[in-house]
Amino acid sequence: MNRDIKLRIIHMSDTHFSKYTAFDEDAFRNAVKYINKLDPPPDAVIHSGDITDYGVLADYEVAYNKLSEINYEIYYAPGNHDERNYGQSLFKEFFGNMDRFIDLGSAVILLMNSPEPDRDAGRLGRRRQRFIESTLKTFSTDKIKIIVFHHHLVPVPLSGREANVLEDAGDVLELVLRNSVDMVLMGHRHVRRALQIGGSLLINAGTVSSIRTRGRLGHSMNQIDIYEDTIKIWNIQLDGKLKLTPVKIMGAPP
């Protein structure tokens, strides 16, 4: 196996920054320390939504200041909490467009807005599906293709009653497989998970710093190391002493 990392991604989600409640300062501080000391450094830090807890101005200000402690550019997809209380206007002000794509050279990342204002449910809809498909067709087949949105594409174990899979999940999954998307990065349920379907990896991140953890899963984020012939996904446990554990998958996409 080629030991040189082709692409390194930090995948975080569900920070739930708030001036008022719901935010665990120690867990986030551990995340910042880990990311800033990483060697080799990440090629991309991706946040898959629920940056804030209430979507209000005070939460966005806390989020912007805290996330500025990370030494690398962060690419954001909005979460349902970010669009509460007309928060979508503040997302655009602080973090940019809600639908966008990033060309990293070896990879293309599409960040999609799956929430709808003041709803917990999510959907991409036909317009975004067309945008994804038309954008991916403009890039060569040897690019690593990554799609990021907040809501999960398939049910997530250990996350309680299932209510918020994408409303158009079937169509989106078919699009992902038809276009040979390498990875879909998601959040929302505060549960880490990696699942392979066909040649695509569906990867959920847990919560970095919300007080609403599940059972003893605690706070975590993902580190994704892409090599020439394999992909390694590490779960970075952030409670107390930092702990790296591999997230088991069936194997890397062909």
Query: pLDDT per residue over 21-33, tens digit each?
Result: 889 999 999 999 9
Number of helices and strands (H, E) in the chain? 5, 12
Predicted confidence (pLDDT) per residue in 200-254, tens digit: 999 999 999 999 999 889 999 999 999 988 899 999 999 877 777 776 554 444 3
What crossing angle do the helices spanning 169-178 and 125-136 adopt, rounded to 10°? 10
Token output for 253? 């996409």
Domain 7-246 has CATH 3.10.450.50: no
Judged against a pLDDT cut of 80, whether residue 169 lies above it is answered with yes
Predicted confidence (pLDDT) per residue in 180-205, tens digit: 999 999 999 999 999 999 989 999 99
**Residue listed under structure tokens 């101005």:** 57
Q: What percent of the chain has pLDDT over 70?
A: 94
pTM of the model: 0.93
Please give the average per-residue pLDDT across 32-60, as a whole number: 97
**Residue listed under structure tokens 């629920």:** 50
Question: Residue 198: which of 174, 216, 222 has the closest Cα?
Answer: 174
| Domain ranges across the chain | 7-246
C-alpha 210: how far from its chain's center?
15
Predicted confidence (pLDDT) per residue in 109-165, tens digit: 999 999 999 888 899 999 999 999 999 999 888 899 999 999 999 988 777 666 678
